[in-house]
Amino acid sequence: MSRKESSLSRKTGARSVAASLLSILIGLFAGGLIIFIVGCTNPTLGLKSAWEGIQLVVMGLFSTGRDAAGALTFGFNPTNMGNLLFRSTPVILTGLSVALAFKTGLFNIGAPGQYLAGTAATLYIALGVPTTTVAPWLVWCLAFVGGILAGAIWGAIPGMLKAFLNINEVLACIMTNWIAANLVTWIFEASNLKNTVENTKTGYIYKTTFNNVATSKMGLDQVFPNSQINGGILIAIVLAIIVYVLMNKTTLGYELKACGSNRYAARYAGIEDKRNIVLAMALAGCLAGAAGSLYYLSGNTEFYWSTYQSLPAVGFNGIPVALLAANHPIGVIFAGIFMSMLDISGLQLTNLTAYNEYITDVIIAVIVYLSAFSLVIKMWLSGRGKKHKPVPSSPVTPDDQQAGKEAEQK
C-alpha cells in the first residue's frame, strides 16, 4: 500500500469514527431532551428528577444507588460492570455476524434464526450428553462447536439461495428466521429438557448447570463479584480479532470482499463467487450461532422455548451494532459494549427514578437512524457537501492577445 492510499485509509477511518461518535452524542442529547421535557411538564417529577434521569442515562453504569439523604451516588459498581460484559457477549457476536456479511456485500438479517439454531444445538448437546461418563469441559466444547455448526448450516441456506437462484438474501433470511423459530419450538416441545423441577416454570429449558456444564468464570467473578460474568466475553473478543485478521490479512478475506463489491468482476478475475457467497453467509451464521451458544452455556440463563411468538431481539441488535461500528470487527466490540451499557442505564433509570427504561430505546433508535446515514455525515465532515467557489482565471495580458491574433492569422 502506498503512502497516499494509507493516508486516505486513515482519513476514511477517522471520518467513520467521528460519524459514529457524532451519532452517539446526538442520540444521548435526544434522550436527555426527552427526559428534560417530561420532567418539566410533569409536576410530580420536576427539574431535579429530570437532572437525575440525565445523570443515569450518561453514568448509569457507575450508579451505586442512593444515600441516606436520597441523593444519587456514583462509583465503581462491579456488579453492573460484570453484567454489562455478560450482556455484551451475544450482542458483539451478532454484530460481528452482520458486519462480516456487510463486508461481503450481503445483508444478514437472518441472525435471529441462526442464533436460535445455535441455541437449540447447544442445549441438546449440553443437556443430552451425560456428564457422568463424559467430562463436563468436553461436553461444553462439544456443545459450543455444535452451536457454531448449527448456526453455519442455517446461515448457508440463504447463502445458497442467493448464489444459485439469485434470491434476495433479505427475503430468504426472513423466511429462515420464522422457520427456525417454529422448528426450535416444536423440537423442544417434544423433548424431555423442559424444566419440570420448578413448578412455577412453564416452557423453560433447564439451565446448563443442571448437567454441570457451564462456561468457566476464568477468575472474572473475583473482579466483578455478584454479577453474571464469565469467560464468554473473552471468547467474543478473540473471535472479533480472528474476523479482523481473516477479512483484512488473508487471501480468503480479499476474495470475500471482492465478491461483495462486484461478484461478476470477481468471477471474471477467477474468483468463485457462488462459493464465496455461501461461505460468507455460513461464517456469519457461525458467529450468530456462537452468540446463542455462549449465552446459554453461561449456566445462569434459561431458554424460553415458545419462540414462535417472537424472534430473539439480540439477533436484530447486531444490526445497529454493526452500523455504529462501520462494520469494523474491532469497532464492533466497543459498539456492543456501548449498546449494552445503555441497557444497564435503562434498568438503573427504572429502579432509581420514576422514568421508564424505554427512554434508552429512543436513544438507541436515534443512534441507529444516524448510523444508517453515516455516509452523509462523513461527507459533511469531509466538507464534500459544501459548494466550491469557482477558481478565478488569470487576467489576459496584451502580449497574450497579440499571440492569439498571430495564431488566428496563421
Q: Are 82 and 228 in contact (CB under 8 A)?
A: yes
Say what the pTM is: 0.86
Question: Per the structure, how many domains does the chain have?
Answer: 2
What are 327-353's pLDDT values in tens digits?
A: 899 999 999 999 899 888 888 888 888
Looking at residue 50, what is its pLDDT?
87
Same domain, yes or no: 117 and 160: yes
49 φ, ψ (degrees, to nearest 5):
-65, -40
Q: What is the mean pLDDT of residues 49-72?
A: 87
Q: Is the pLDDT of residue 391 over 80?
A: no
How many CB atoms are located within 10 Å of the residue 333 CB?
Answer: 23
Same domain, yes or no: 23 and 124: no
Report residue 385's pLDDT band, with 50, 70 and 90 as the boundaries: very low
Report helix, strand or coil for 212: coil
Q: What is the mean pLDDT of residues 185-191?
A: 86
Q: Using CA atoms, how far apart are residues 150 and 136, in angstroms rounded to an integer? A: 21
Residue that has been written with the C-alpha cell 440463504 in this structure: 158
Report residue 408's pLDDT band, with 50, 70 and 90 as the boundaries: low
Looking at residue 110, what is its pLDDT?
94
What are 84-111's pLDDT values in tens digits?
A: 999 999 999 999 999 999 999 999 999 9
CA dihedral sign of residues 359, 91, 318, 140? negative
Same domain, yes or no: 98 and 65: no
Angle at 361 between CA 359 and CA 366, to 5 degrees: 100
Domain of residue 253 covers: 84-328
Looking at residue 11, what is its pLDDT?
64
Helix count and strand count (H, E) for the chain: 16, 4
Same domain, yes or no: 57 and 113: no
Give me the amino acid identity at 350: T
Report helix, strand or coil for 67: coil
Q: Using CA atoms, how far apart are residues 339 and 92, in angstroms rounded to an integer? A: 10
Report helix, strand or coil for 256: helix
Residue that has been written with the C-alpha cell 444445538 in this structure: 121
Q: Does residue 42 come out as left (phi exceeding 0), alpha (psi in the -120 to 50 range) or beta?
A: beta
What are 111-144's pLDDT values in tens digits?
A: 999 999 999 999 999 999 998 899 999 999 999 9
Same domain, yes or no: 219 and 192: yes
Same domain, yes or no: 32 and 116: no
